[in-house]
Amino acid sequence: MTSPTTPDGRPAAEAPGLLPPPPVAPATSAPAAPSTPTPVAPSGAAPSGPAPSGPAPSGTTASGTTVSGPAATTPAAAAPTAAGPTTRSGRSVRPYDEARVQRAVRELLSAVGEDPDREGLRETPARVARAYREVFAGLTMDPRDALTATFDVGHGEMVLVRDIEVYSTCEHHLVPFHGVAHVGYIPGADGRVTGLSKIARLVDVYARRPQVQERLTTQIADAMVEVLEPRGVIVVVECEHLCMSMRGVRKPGSRTTTSAVRGQMRDAATRAEAMSLVLGR
């Protein structure tokens, strides 16, 4: 191959203002695909034919181009699952760790300036850990288990359980709030009712958790609807919150009332009847 020259015969490299074009790097290309056409599989089915030899492609080339084909697809990483058992209602919870609670209580006592090794406090971490196992037992309970027993009595009118004692723990300050819950429902078309004690158990399942009263009220009503399939539900909760009585604004005796209504209980006349039963008038 001869070098390029100018019109007067000189090499192009020696001519002023004329430079040879820069060398071009040879282009690299991916290996040619097999000439045999790949049969098209029906929608949703994997293509047939022998698998390609050699290591399976990773799904992405060095330049970032995605390689198509089932064998080249890199599956997404699976999301980590929460530790601990899962209740039937689908809520994933960690098992109660009593030893860890003890260590945390001991550290708390030290942090507030106390001596956790003095006689009166030596067993306090263990006592608190045992108490919290009971106070927060609802975290590992399935609320639907509380309403498993039903009876066919052909009753189609309102059933209301008043003054169910409530003891729960404010999730904002970890101090108690207590009061009463009133739970009423109109059975479904089949006339089946649940045991009266089962309603009280349902209240306990949701109360024995770090809670706020508004959510507690809603959860009780929604569980009644989900499990019993009644025509209507009403839940009224009245509580005094120690986070408001013993600290902050310090207003002992003040009570908070929350309600939740579902189905036919939204009807004004039916709701008025239920509230008259709640108030005992």
Q: Has residue 56 been placed in a domain?
A: no
126 and 159 assigned to the same domain: no
For the segment 178-201, the average pLDDT, to the nearest whole number, is 96
- d(Cα 218, Cα 183) in Å, to the nearest integer? 11
- Half-sphere exposure of 16 toward its Cβ, with a 13 Å CA cutoff? 0
pTM metric for this prediction: 0.68
Coil, helix or strand at residue 87: coil
248 and 133 assigned to the same domain: no
Q: Which positions are annotated as active-site residues?
A: 170-173, 213, 241, 243
Residue carrying the six token digits 């709030």: 177
Taking the alpha carbons of 186, 191, 192, 197 in that order, is the dihedral positive or negative?
Answer: positive
112 and 234 assigned to the same domain: no
pLDDT band at 94 (very low <50, low <70, confident <90, very high): confident
pLDDT band at 41 (very low <50, low <70, confident <90, very high): very low
Q: How many domains, the chain? A: 2
Query: Residue 229: what residue type?
Result: E
pLDDT at 226: 96
pLDDT at 69: 44
pLDDT at 217: 98
Question: Please, are residues 66 and 60 in contact by the beta-carbon 8 Å criterion?
Answer: yes
For residue 185, the enclosing domain spans 145-279
pLDDT digit string (tens) for 143-164? 999 998 999 999 999 999 999 9
- d(Cα 121, Cα 109) in Å, to the nearest integer? 9
Question: Please, are residues 57 and 47 in contact by the beta-carbon 8 Å criterion?
Answer: no
Averaged confidence pLDDT in the chain: 80
pLDDT band at 16 (very low <50, low <70, confident <90, very high): very low
Phi-psi group of 154: left, alpha or beta (phi > 0 → left; psi -120 to 50 → alpha; rest → beta): left
